[in-house]
Amino acid sequence: IKIRVQDYTGEIKEIEAPTDMNLSLMELLKANEYPVLATCGGMALCATCHVKVEEGFEKLSESGDNELDMIDTLPNAEYNSRLACQLRLNDAMDGMLVRLAADEN
Ligand code: FES
């Protein structure tokens, strides 16, 4: 599948996302050298992987309690906020647009 990513400069790039490796979106972003610190290692505890899903949000599985609790602490969270570490790459994500948002935390 392909996912579009908007970085902090506003630039949008399309990246290839394998769905057969059990990768999270956070791991994919790091692998593509986006500035995602992932300080907590993907435990929904640091929010440095905060993204806003600008297109395709409704196709994603719902946030778990840990993710929702963390997002609730973020001053600039919006309805389309997600933690990239809590999203496993899957076919439903094809074509989605995510915007890096940890700079708004
Ligand atoms: Fe820490 Fe996602 S990597 S919350």
Taken in order of first residue, the domains within the chain and their CATH numbers are: 2-104 (3.10.20.30)
Specify the pTM.
Answer: 0.97
Give me ligand 1 centre to Cα 27, in Å: 10
Ligand 1 pocket, CB under 6 A = 26, 38-40, 42, 44-49, 83, 85
Q: What is the side-by-side order of every strand in the sheet holding 81-83?
A: 12-16, 2-6, 97-100, 50-55, 81-83
pLDDT in tens, 3-55: 999 999 999 999 999 999 999 999 999 999 999 999 999 999 999 999 999 99
pLDDT in tens, 73-105: 999 999 999 999 999 999 999 999 999 999 988
The ipTM of this complex is 0.99
The answer to whether residues 45 and 31 touch, using CB atoms and an 8 Å cutoff, is: no
Give me ligand 1 centre to Cα 67, in Å: 9
